[in-house]
Structure formats: structure tokens, C-alpha cells
Amino acid sequence: MPHHIDCDVVVIGGGPAGMASALSAWNHGARKIFILERNDYLGGILNQCIHPGFGLQVFGEELTGPEYAARYIDQLAKTSIEVMTETTVLDLTPNKKITAVNPEGVWEFYSESVILSMGCREKTRGMIFIPGFRPAGIYTAGLAQYLVNVEGYLPGKKVVILGSGDIGLIMARRLTLEGVKVEAVVEVRPSLSGLIRNYVQCLLDFELPLLLSHTVTNIFGKERVEGVEISRVDQSWQPIPGTERLLNCDTLLLSVGLLPENEISRKAGVSLCHFSHGPFVDESFSTDLDGIYACGNVASVFDLVDYVTLVSQKAGQTAAEYRDKKPIKYQLNPGSGVGLVIPQRVRQVDNGWLFVRPDQSFRDGKVQFRTQGKVFDKKRVAVCRPSEMIRYDLKNIHWPEEGGEVIVEIIGNPIEGI
């Protein structure tokens, strides 16, 4: 027989989202709480992020990833929240039965509330159709970050990094510090994807080249990477024939995007948003299934762990209180210039946030809110980038009396260059 457990809250995934939501549920009165984590440690992705820059919003100081995680691990130790590591959740049903395995056997949890916090995964080479050979030496940047920072393995001596998002930029610096030659950071967009701060501190300070409007169009080497072909791209990101050039390298790192990890959500039948690739959530991070919540990168990839913590606390609170929900009043959808909005559903505007991710970089822009063709609010943004979500307090938006579909769009001057 499987081990059988009845409880108030089960949190799937023990990264920053899982830890913050469990603690918040505890602080709001839930008592029988379990965190199920597949790894043999808590903290999720934070453990491999040994650079500083975490916690400015939540703690008002700069921490490294492991330090940030440690704060929550310490707080957990002061509660009776049960943490089960080396425990992988394999199934979730709509009526909140969770099945997990670990070396002790099969576990079934029957819980009032379930919080999804499984994080995200990286896009791979096949997903972006880079042609060529399939030798050793092609890594996603996050995997390389783990292997270098946690395991202490060096993936190569000469690398090309595809993608100028923050993980790509940070890995460029990290590998340079290890004596690895970074040949170039190649970016398909006409503008930088990551934070300016990371561009300055990770590329400029080390004189590493950034090639905008370029992409990798071929991979050479049968056994180990021997080089990559890069090409200039046109406005629709199509390679321009005749612009090919060879970069010699033994490693290609791909930092080409993250995707929320929703296998479990899908098994439960939680409906997923085409834009965020995570569940549709409301301002308390409830999914459309009663008693199931989603927070952190499983809901939508957040670039800042501080935001992950904020939204997860909200999810934990609601999961603990588990009261009747008001009907959905506004349904939010991204319009032009916007990649995604989170939450996609708003019931009450007095409490909570709205996160908006631009789909490209703009200068002198404004974020507009429209319903039935009419703009009901607009907010200025001096500069915005896909790497930084714009955050609003819901109550600071002038919502119309009547509910309905709301389009969020950004108008501005596209940035070309850094």
C-alpha cells in the first residue's frame, strides 16, 4: 500500500517559490504543510546562482542566490512544515490527490490546497531549429551554470553564447573568470535582452563582444564542437544569405529562453495560458481549479527572485485561508509590444500586482490599458526591456466600472543597440 497522508497544504517544488508560499501558508494559519522537492536540497535554481543581486527588494540588501535561499531554509526550520527531499511528484488529479515517489516508496497526499511551484526549464537547440551536427559541447546556459558552479566541471575552453539574456551574460563573465575564452555573445534581436547592469558588468568590463541581430546558423564538429557559423538576420530574424561567418569554438551555450514546467499541472487539467506557458492565474495566484495555486516560475518566468517571493507569499496566504472566491471581473490579455501579463484574471483590485513583460525593448514608452477598444489608463515607462517585468499595484490602475476583457499594450520607440 502507498503511504497515505491527509493534509492542509502540499507544495510541489522547494525552490524560492515553494519555500515562500509554504511559509506564508504557515503564517496564515495552515498547520499540516508539506514541501515535496525532487532534489536532495532546497532552494531550486538559487543554489547555482552564486553571483550577487538577489534580495534587494525583499531584504533591502544584495545577497547571492544560496544566501537568499538560506534565509528561507532557516525560517522553515523554525516551523513544523515538513520538507521531503529526494521526493518527485509524478501525478496530480483535479481533486488534489498527489502521488510522489522516493526511495521509501510511493506516497499519496490528499490535500485541501495544492501549490504548484515546479519552476521552469530551458529551451534547447532542437526547439529553435539550429541545423548542423550534434556533437558534445552544446549546453543550455543554466545547465552549464550548475555544472560550473555546483559540480566544478568546465564545459570547454572557447565558447560562443547564443542569447543575451541575463543567464547568458552572467555565464560569459563566469567562464571568463575561469580562464575560458568567450568568443562572442550572439543575439538575434536588434537589442540587448538582459539587464544593462549585467551587460556592463559581465561583457563591457571584460571586453567581450556582443553581436546583435545575429544568430547561429550551423554547428560544426562530429564528436566535439569545432566551431559555429553565425549569420546576420533580417527584421523577421531570418538569416541573410552571404553574411555567414565561422567562429572557432569548442562549446556553444544556449541562453534562448525559459519555459514554465507544467507537466504536473497538465495532468491535473489546469488550463494553461498560451503566452506565459503557465496556468491562468488570478491576483491571488489561484489557477482555474479550485484549491490549486501556481506561483514562481511555474506560473510565468520571473527574472527577479524577489518578485517570485512576493507572488508566492500571496499564493501561500490564499491557500491557507481557502475561502470562497469572488467571480472573475477582468480578463487580461497581452496586446502589441507585450509578451505576457500575469495575472491573466483579476477578481478584486484592492490587493495584488500586475506584471507586464515587454516583447521588445522600448524607449519613451507608455503602457496602455484598453477595454472594448477604449483606453482607460496609460502609464509612462522611460525604458523597458524584455528582461525586466514592469510591476503595477492593481489598485493604482484606474479600472473601469464594468468588467470584461482588458488588453495591455506598450507603445514606444523600439531600441536598436544596447
Partner 1 sequence: MKKAYDVIIIGGGVVGCAIAWFLSHFDLKILLLERELDVCCGVSKANTGILHSRSYLTPGTVKGELHQRALSWFPEIEKELDFHPTVTGALTVAFNQDDLNYLKSIKKIGKYDDAEILSPQESRILEPNLSDRIVATYYDPHAAVVSPFRLTLAFAEGAALNGVKFHFDRSVGGFDQQGKKIIVHTPNENYEASYVVNATGLSSVKIAQKSGDRVPDLSAFKGEYFLLDKESQGLVKKILYPIPNSVSKGILVSPTPEGNILAGPNFESSCADDTSTTPQGLNEVKAGAQKLVPQFPFNQTIQIFAGIRPTLPERDFLIFVSKKYPGLIHLCGIESPGLTASPGIAEYVGELLVQQGLSLKNKDQIIFRKAFPVFHDCDWEKREELIAQDPDWGQIVCRCEEVTIAEVKYALRMNPPARTMDGLKRRIRVTAGRCQGSFCQMHLPSIVMNLLNIGIQDLLKSDKNSNLFVGETKKVVNAHATPH
Binding site residues, ligand FAD, CB under 6 A: 12-18, 36-39, 44-46, 49, 53-54, 88-89, 117-120, 142, 145, 166-167, 170, 258, 264, 296-298, 302-305, 308
- For residue 133, CA distances in Å to 31, 116, 250 come to 54, 37, 13
Residue nearest to ligand FAD (CB): 15
Span interacting with partner 1, options 58-66, 84-92, 355-363, 409-417, rule CB under 8 A? 84-92
The four Cα atoms 40, 44, 49, 54 give a dihedral, to 10 degrees, of -130
Q: What minimum distance in Å lies between the beta carbon of 132 and partner 1?
A: 5
Q: Are 163 and 256 in contact (CB under 8 A)?
A: yes
- In terms of C-beta distances under 8 Å and separation of at least 24 residues, what long-range contacts does 392-398 make, across chains too? 392/353, 392/354, 392/356, 393/352, 393/353, 394/283, 394/346, 394/349, 394/350, 394/351, 394/352, 394/353, 394/354, 395/349, 395/350, 395/351, 397/349, 397/354, 397/369
* C-alpha closest to that of 292 among 319, 329, 264: 319
- Residue 319 binding target from partner 1, ligand FAD, none, CB below 5 to 8 Å by type: none
Q: What minimum distance in Å lies between the beta carbon of 54 and ligand FAD?
A: 5
Q: Which three cell numbers stand for residue 5?
A: 497522508
96 forms part of the interface with partner 1 (CB under 8 A): no
Span interacting with partner 1, options 133-141, 296-304, 343-351, 366-374, rule CB under 8 A? 133-141
- For residue 13, CA distances in Å to 170, 204, 236, 246, 390 come to 25, 36, 38, 42, 26
- Residue 59 binding target from partner 1, ligand FAD, none, CB below 5 to 8 Å by type: none
- Residue 223 binding target from ligand FAD, partner 1, none, CB below 5 to 8 Å by type: partner 1
- Residue 54 binding target from ligand FAD, partner 1, none, CB below 5 to 8 Å by type: ligand FAD
Q: What minimum distance in Å lies between the beta carbon of 405 and ligand FAD?
A: 28
152 forms part of the interface with partner 1 (CB under 8 A): yes
- For residue 214, CA distances in Å to 136, 162, 256 come to 23, 9, 13
Residues 215-244 touching partner 1, rule: CB under 8 A, are 217-219, 222-224, 239
**Interacting residues toward partner 1 by CB under 8 A:** 1-2, 38, 86, 88, 90, 99, 101-106, 121-122, 124-127, 129, 131-137, 139-140, 142-143, 146-148, 150-157, 178-179, 217-219, 222-224, 239, 250, 263, 266
